[in-house]
Structure 1
Amino acid sequence: MSTAGLRILLAASLLLGSTAFAQPQELRSATVQRGAQLGASHHEGVVEAVRQTLLTAQVAGAVQEITVQVGDSVRAGQVLLRLDARAAEQTASASAAQVRAAQAVEQEAERELARQRQLLEADYISQAAFDRAEARYKAARAEAAALRAAAEASRTQSDFYVLRAPYDGVVSAIPVSLGDMAMPGRPLLTLYDPTALRVSVQVPQAIAASAPAELSARLELAGLDTSVTPRRVQWLPSVDPTTHTVELRLELPAELRVLPGTFARARLNLTGESDRLYIPRTAVLRRAELTAVYVLDAQQRPRLRQVRLGPQQGDQVEVLSGLVAGERVALDPLAAGQLK
């Protein structure tokens, strides 16, 4: 071969060599990330009142007066409903009369005891006579105390015929009408606190397990043009054995005014730092029983490595073993296989 031919062959070899080393550098790759973004999850829920009270009857009686209507705002201690309490009031009046009579007997016994003490000091009566007077006074005092307790119980019983608001709230339901017979345990009125509302959603157990400790969320409520950030997020520490879901409660801001039962949609941002490793699912090469990726070395040359993968989260897949954080993997395993 001539000298010119050798020069041409050498130039071609150098050109091919430079191209072979340049191609691996152009290979698209991605970094193995720790705690990669898991995306967002949407769940439907409903607005409910944190404080909602179902007022029921404690005694039997006809509904005599209803002082509020559904939708009214009431103050704590305000009278909401009255039952017919005439029999209870008469019983209370009779008990009060018995108390007054017992107090009169007690006062007379006390005065008699004072006279008997003076006679005893002057030696006009015996000690036994004074002891009998003292016993009559103590018996009268005990009877008066018992009647006072019975009268107090009667007054307390009469208070059961009047229903009052336990806190500031809004009347949401009145399932009775004037003249209805109220029995112990029968619902008479429903009241809720409009400043303490929350959204309750049922989240699948698998999603709840992958949620970060500091979960951020946004709420979309029917009738509102903008989304709302809950002021507090709480997972209930139990799983529904039927649906395999976990209840998530998201408290609404106190100034927000919505009605219990309103439809809501919660957007959960499942993003957070963790010890889990993630790679793009396009980097995974599957051949029969082999699951592997091409890892780029320091010279950007692809090296096939077997890995064990976990569940997929959107475009990312969890790596259980075979990789460490910071390594780079080829996004096109077929192209990497041709360049190794």
Structure 2
Amino acid sequence: MNYESTTWRREALEDVVLDDATLAKRRKRRRLLIAFAIFLVVAIAVVAVMAGRGGDEAAAPAGKAAAPGAQADALPVVTVIVPGRQQVATVISSTGSLAARRDLPVGVPGEGGQVSRVLVEPGDWVRAGQVLATIDRSVQTQEAAQLAAQIQVQRADLALAQSELERSLALVERGFVSQADIQRKTATRDAAAARVRVAEANLGAARARMGRLDIRAPAAGLVLDRNIEAGQVVGPGSGALFRIAQGGEMELLARLPQSDMARVRVGVPVAVTPVGSATSYQGVVWQMSPTIDAQTRQGEARISVPYHRDLRPGGFASAEIRAGAVDAPLLPESAVQSDERGNFVYLVDGNGAVVRRDVRVGEVGDRGVAVVEGLAGDERVVLSAGAFLNPGQRVRPQLAAAAR
């Protein structure tokens, strides 16, 4: 059978004549192919070695410590805190208006008249009985002089009646004067003595009315207000001419919910801070309202505060009432979270798993948040990063010191 061969013969190849350029290109291509082949062999060897190491580690016995350590290192590190229990002060915050503890209105005690002088100004300190203002008393002075003169007249009549009675008593034994005359002269003497007493009483009353023309301070304290001027005509219907804070003591009328009213007692300390001031002043609850407002369900606590120029009646202030203490765990605010179900914290159990725990918080202050329900104090509580955790997630806890 005859056929044509497609195989190159050596003789035919030897008969092909190649130039230098073609030979150079073929040598360069051969070197590149050899280099690529070497690189491929090396890469395959490296992959085989790495795969062999991975298989050896996977096949290593479970008793070796390398595998558990590697898994633990892969878990996220979470800082936890064991809060314990401690005494946490119960502080109730409130606001209210400042006023004088004993606001004394001072008016005209007598019939009044035209004011001649005003002797004090708002902000002055006065003592009990000090004259605040005077009312013209020229008419009352003349009336008092008239009554004093009448007393002298009545005393003269009394002296004459007494003298006539004594002369009659001397003549009655001789029979010149009857017993009836003695009785009439005695009655005349007694009537003259009574008229003297009446005149003296009228003079005393006039002087008392004249003394009431001096408007005086009923007690020592601080003058808060003045509603009187010289030349003004005042009377019993003029209202309060002065207002005095007795002893200068102020008070804060704090409004409290019914639940807080049950926790506050008379005598507990209070820190009062006026609006616009960074300074707090120490006071004490001196009276609790016996009733609760039916509309607002609030009561009123009256907090006594010593005088200070920053405590002005009518001003607004805040109060922090210390209503005792509770024994509870204290956590930083970063450890307590909240959602639609309420407040909660994340715990780490003995297996390293994250557990949600619902809690009820109490006082929130600079030291942290008091947990009044939900924690015993010996749990490992996630300190922060709770928003990035999920219940059941395994973590590696790292203990931190409890905040004190």
CA contact (8 A) 2:361 2:369 kept: no
| Segments of 4+ moved more than 6 angstroms | 17-20, 276-281, 283-288, 290-297, 299-308, 332-336
Partner of 1:154: 206
Partner of 2:53: none
Residue pairs, 1:120-131, within 5 angstroms: 120-121=172-173, 124-131=176-183
CA contact (8 A) 2:363 2:370 kept: yes
Match of 2:273 among 219, 232, 245: 219
Residue pairs, 1:177-326, within 5 angstroms: 177-187=229-239, 189-190=241-242, 192=244, 196-205=248-257, 206=259, 209=262, 214-217=268-271, 219-220=273-274, 222=276, 227-230=279-282, 232-238=283-289, 241=293, 243=296, 244-252=298-306, 256-258=308-310, 260-261=312-313, 263=315, 265-266=317-318, 268=320, 270=322, 272-274=324-326, 282=335, 309=360, 313=364, 316=369, 318-319=371-372, 326=377
CA contact (8 A) 2:253 2:302 kept: yes
- Compute the displacement of 1:237 (Å): 1.1
Output the amino acid matched with 2:279. Answer: S
Q: Provide TM-score, normalisation by structure 2.
A: 0.59
Output the amino acid matched with 2:141. Answer: E
CA contact (8 A) 2:288 2:302 kept: no
CA contact (8 A) 1:296 1:327 kept: no
TM-superposition CA deviations, 1:217-248 (whole Å, max 9, x none): 253575x6x62433x32243106625524244
- Compute the displacement of 1:309 (Å): 4.3
Q: Provide TM-score, normalisation by structure 1.
A: 0.68
Question: Whose Rg is larger?
Answer: 2
Q: Does 1:97 align with 2:167?
A: no
Distance 1:82 1:164 in 2: 9
Q: Does 1:66 align with 2:117?
A: yes
Distance 1:142 1:45 in 2: 59
Partner of 1:111: 163
- Compute the displacement of 1:292 (Å): 8.6
Output the amino acid matched with 1:316. Answer: V
Q: Secondary structure at the match of 1:9?
A: coil
- Count of paired positions: 327
Match of 2:196 among 144, 167, 175: 144
- Compute the displacement of 1:56 (Å): 1.4
Distance 1:188 1:291 in 2: 55
Distance 1:39 1:171 in 2: 34
Distance 1:172 1:56 in 2: 14
Distance 1:139 1:157 in 2: 27
Distance 2:71 2:162 in 1: 123
Closer, same or farther in 2 for the Cα pair 1:287/1:198, shift >3 Å? closer
Distance 1:218 1:306 in 2: 37
Tell me, which stretches of 5 or more residues in structure 2 are unaligned?
A: 1-55, 396-404
Question: Which 10-residue stretch deviates more, 209-218 or 182-191?
Answer: 209-218
Closer, same or farther in 2 for the Cα pair 1:304/1:137, shift >3 Å? farther
- Compute the displacement of 1:156 (Å): 0.9
Partner of 2:20: none
Question: Which 10-residue stretch deviates more, 198-207 or 147-156?
Answer: 198-207
Closer, same or farther in 2 for the Cα pair 1:211/1:278, shift >3 Å? farther
TM-superposition CA deviations, 1:43-70 (whole Å, max 9, x none): 4644x44455432123444424124363
Distance 2:170 2:190 in 1: 18
Distance 2:262 2:330 in 1: 17
Distance 1:11 1:149 in 2: 119
CA contact (8 A) 2:88 2:327 kept: no
Distance 2:123 2:86 in 1: 54
Closer, same or farther in 2 for the Cα pair 1:110/1:75, shift >3 Å? farther
- Compute the displacement of 1:184 (Å): 0.5
- Compute the displacement of 1:196 (Å): 2.0
Tell me, which stretches of 5 or more residues in structure 1 are unaligned?
A: none
Distance 2:358 2:68 in 1: 33
Aligned sequence identity (%): 20
CA contact (8 A) 1:295 1:327 kept: no
- Compute the displacement of 1:152 (Å): 0.9
Q: Secondary structure at the match of 1:11?
A: coil
The higher relative CO (CA closer than 8 Å, separation ≥ 6) is in 1
Closer, same or farther in 2 for the Cα pair 1:292/1:86, shift >3 Å? closer
Closer, same or farther in 2 for the Cα pair 1:287/1:158, shift >3 Å? closer
